[in-house]
Amino acid sequence: MPDKLTTLFTKEISRREFFRGAGGFIVNHWLLSLLPVGGAGVLGWAEHDTRELQSEIWDLFYPKLPKVLEGKTVCQLSDLHLETLKISPQRIIETTMAQKPDLLVLTGDIISTRTDLDKVNPYLEKLSAPYGKYVVLGNNDYSHLSHTLLKRFLKQLQGLGWIPLLNESSFIPSLNLWIIGIDDPATAHDNVDLAYQNLLTAQTSAHTSPPTSPTPPFRLALAHSTDCLDDVAFYGADLLLTGHTHGGQIRIPGLPPLVTNTYLGKKGIYEGYHVIQGIPLYISRGIGESIIPLRFNVPPEITFFTLHQGNASPKYQTKDAK
C-alpha cells in the first residue's frame, strides 16, 4: 500500500459533497433556525441526514496478505450513542448483514447514559459473523457508568457474543489474523504496550520455533479514537479502525465542524481513509450523535472492508441503506 495518502478518496461532486467540504458549529437546535440559509428547511435537511444511513464499501489491497484473508470482509460499526439514536435496530441489522461480513468490530461509544444499558440488546444481539464479533469501548461508555455498572455492561456484551478487547490482542488462527483492541484513548484508558503484549509474546515464540505460515499475520487494530496513533505506529498495524469524531457531525460552509475531538481532527483529518505514519487508518463517521441529536451533511455510516492480495490503490463505493 502507498506510504502516504494526503487526500481523501472522492467521487463525483454532488451538492452533499460540496457541503461536506466545510463545517459547522451549532450549540442548540434553535441556532439552526437562525441561519440565513433558512430555518425549517435546514432542520428538515438535518433530520433527513441524521437518518440517512449509508454503507461505505471498501476494497483494500496488501502485497503480503495471508491467503486465508483473500476476499474476507470486516464490518465496522461505531458510535451508536443509543440515547438519541433515530435509526431502528432492524435497519442497522439488515444493512450490516446484507454484506455478509466475515468479521464484526465495534469501535466504542455504544451508550451515552446508564439507562442505555436497556437498549443494547435489540441493536447488537442479532448481528453475527462466522469469525466473531469484537468490541472496544469509547469515552461515553465510561463516562456515566460506575465500576459496578461497567462490569454489568461488559458481561452484557459478552452474553450477546461480543468479545471486549480492553488493551488486549486476540489471534484468530483460521484467518492468520491478530485483532489488537486498544481501550479508549479519549479517557486515557489506552495502553498500547499492553494491547500488543500477546502479539509480541507470540512473535518471540515464533522466532524459536519452525514457522507455521510463510506469511506474517495480518494486524487489525481497533480503537475509539486516533489519539493512540503514535504508539500504534511504533508497533505497526495493517489497518487501524477508529471513530469518535462523527465525521464532524454538523458541517456548514465556512465554519468548523461541530465534533472532531482528536489531535488529527484539529488538523482537518476527521473522517475516511488515510495512511499516516505508515499506518492505514480509517475514521468512521459513526451511526449516532452527541452534543445535539442531529447530523448535517455528515450521514451515518456502516463500513465494510474487503481484503485482497495485490498492490492496487484502495477502492470504494457508497450505498444508501434501505
Spatial separation of the C-alpha atoms in residues 118 and 309, rounded to whole Å: 42
pLDDT tops 70 at residue 38: no
Cβ of 301: how many Cβ atoms within 10 Å?
26
Instruction: Give the pLDDT of residue 321.
Output: 76
Neighbours of 317 (CB within 10 A): 10
- Per the structure block, which three cell numbers stand in for 38? 433558512
Share of the chain above pLDDT 90, in %: 74
More confident position, 292 or 273: 273
pLDDT at 3: 41
Position 280 scores a pLDDT of 98
pLDDT of residue 48: 67
pLDDT confidence band for 21 (50 / 70 / 90): very low
- The mean pLDDT of 253-261, rounded to a whole number, is 85
**CA distance readout (Å), 118 to 67, 123, 153, 272:** 41, 11, 10, 31
Helix or strand (DSSP H, E) at 171:
strand 168-172
- The SS3 call for residue 244 is coil
Contact between residue 82 and residue 113 where contact means Cβ atoms under 8 Å apart: no
CA distance 303 to 284: 7
pLDDT greater than 90 at residue 27: no
Nearest one of 86, 166, 170, 89 to 124, comparing CA atoms: 89
Residue 304 to residues 29, 59, 102: CA-CA distances in angstroms? 32, 8, 10
DSSP-derived letter for residue 314 is P
The CA distance from 93 to 125, in Å, is 9
* Residue 67 in this model has a pLDDT that exceeds 60: yes
Mean pLDDT computed over every residue of the chain: 87
| Predicted confidence band of residue 214 (pLDDT cuts 50, 70, 90) | confident
Interatomic CA distance for residues 113 and 288, integer angstroms:
13
Q: Coil, helix or strand for 304?
A: strand
DSSP 115: G
DSSP for residue 64:
T
What pLDDT is attached to residue 254? 82
The pLDDT value given to residue 78: 98
Q: Are strands 133-136 and 162-164 parallel, antiparallel or unpaired?
A: parallel
Cell, residue 49: 441526514
pLDDT in tens, 74-101: 999 999 999 999 999 999 999 999 999 9
C-alpha cell at 306: 474487503
The lowest-confidence range among 34-38, 86-90, 99-103, 132-136 is: 34-38
Whether 69 shows a pLDDT value over 50: the answer reads yes
Query: Which 3 state secondary structure label does DSSP give 184?
Result: coil
